[in-house]
Amino acid sequence: MDRELALEIVRVTEVAALASSRWMGRGKKNEADQAATSAMRAMFDSVNITGTVVIGEGEMDEAPMLYIGEMVGTGQGPEVDVAVDPLEGTNIVAKGLNNALAVVAISDRGNLLHAPDMYMEKIAVGPRAAGLIHIDDPIPRTLEIVARANRKRIQDCTVMILERERHNQIIEAVRRTGARVRLFSDGDVGAAIATCFEDTGIDLYIGIGGAPEGVISAAAIKALGGEMQGRLVPGNQEEYDRCVKMGLKDPRQILFMNDMVKGEDAIFAATGVTDGELLRGVRFVGNDRAETHSLVMRARTKTVRWIKALHSIPNKPHLVME
């Protein structure tokens, strides 16, 4: 993939963030998601890729655009897999809470796991603990490893966990070690990749969340030199059979980084919709202008760019604002 694609992909996440940000705090998550999806899909038409959506808004009969299997891009560039979450954190935006993102990951054709829309057990750490953890290790052992790698005491480590009833035992197990717990309500892509940035103070991400979000997170973590492991959690026979059709002989096998994101290259981009640990949200600064904060990275070069942009809303042809 050409390195120029990284900046092109940021344009896609920027417009999705701008579109959905108008709905912040208005209690309408579906409208926010649709605004992000429509803007992102329109912007993809200007990107020089021959892209196939492998993780998107749903199956062809479930989503009008950015559905799994849809072709995106001009058709004039490299053949790539595309994973999108136009609005990661629809409830977050509806309630005006933190950590909503617009995210896109791309990789060479055939290199992204076509993760079905089901649950996945996940664990993620930053570069210092990469190669040292295992998803089946007990939580006390994992925290000992992570604390040692990050040169901290266990009680100084912070673990990100999605606030759900299914995680009560995990939360209690972490608390018993003396480590700190930070719960979050939605949006586990940002939570997972926060482990790779020292200034977030997050040492470990663990829990069960969406499988598509797991693959998108893995693309970012691969570029950052961290590690993520996962395991699909089929909820019924239909989901189990779908895993088998994907080529997983054992749907409960451990998925390592190279299972989720093959090869040496992947590009990940995210733009903040609301404020979070990684990125500031969209700010409307007057005179029909808005400011965005984005992050883009490439696995091959390990380059990480932070991009602050000022947009003139009337000059955004792909952006329909109320």
Tokens standing for residue 222: 């691969």
DSSP string, 93-105: HHHT-S--EEEEE
For residue 90, say whether it is annotated as part of any ligand binding site: yes
For residue 165, say whether it is annotated as part of any ligand binding site: yes
Whether 66 contacts 56, CB under 8 Å? yes
- The Cα 121–Cα 42 span in angstroms is 33
For residue 198, say whether it is annotated as part of any ligand binding site: no
For residue 121, say whether it is annotated as part of any ligand binding site: no
Pick from 63, 114, 69: which is nearest to 86 by CA? Answer: 63
For residue 85, say whether it is annotated as part of any ligand binding site: yes
Size of the chain, expressed as the number of residues it contains: 322
- Sequence-ordered alpha helix ranges (H) in the chain: 5-21, 29-44, 90-95, 139-149, 168-177, 188-193, 211-224, 237-245, 257-260
For residue 89, say whether it is annotated as part of any ligand binding site: yes
For residue 119, say whether it is annotated as part of any ligand binding site: yes
Whether 178 contacts 152, CB under 8 Å? no
For residue 213, say whether it is annotated as part of any ligand binding site: yes
- The Cα 281–Cα 100 span in angstroms is 8
The label of the residue with tokens 């892509």 reads 189
For residue 158, say whether it is annotated as part of any ligand binding site: no
For residue 81, say whether it is annotated as part of any ligand binding site: no
Q: What are the distances in angstroms from CA 313 to CA 16, 86, 282, 299, 308? A: 13, 19, 12, 32, 15
For residue 281, say whether it is annotated as part of any ligand binding site: no
For residue 201, say whether it is annotated as part of any ligand binding site: no
For residue 264, say whether it is annotated as part of any ligand binding site: no
Q: In the sheet that 119-125 helps form, which strands lie side by side, from edge to edge?
A: 180-184, 158-162, 204-210, 119-125, 227-233
For residue 110, say whether it is annotated as part of any ligand binding site: no
For residue 56, say whether it is annotated as part of any ligand binding site: no
State the binding site for substrate: 88-90, 119, 164-166, 186-188, 210
State the binding site for Mn(2+): 33, 57, 85, 88, 213
State the binding site: 33, 57, 85, 88-90, 119, 164-166, 186-188, 210, 213
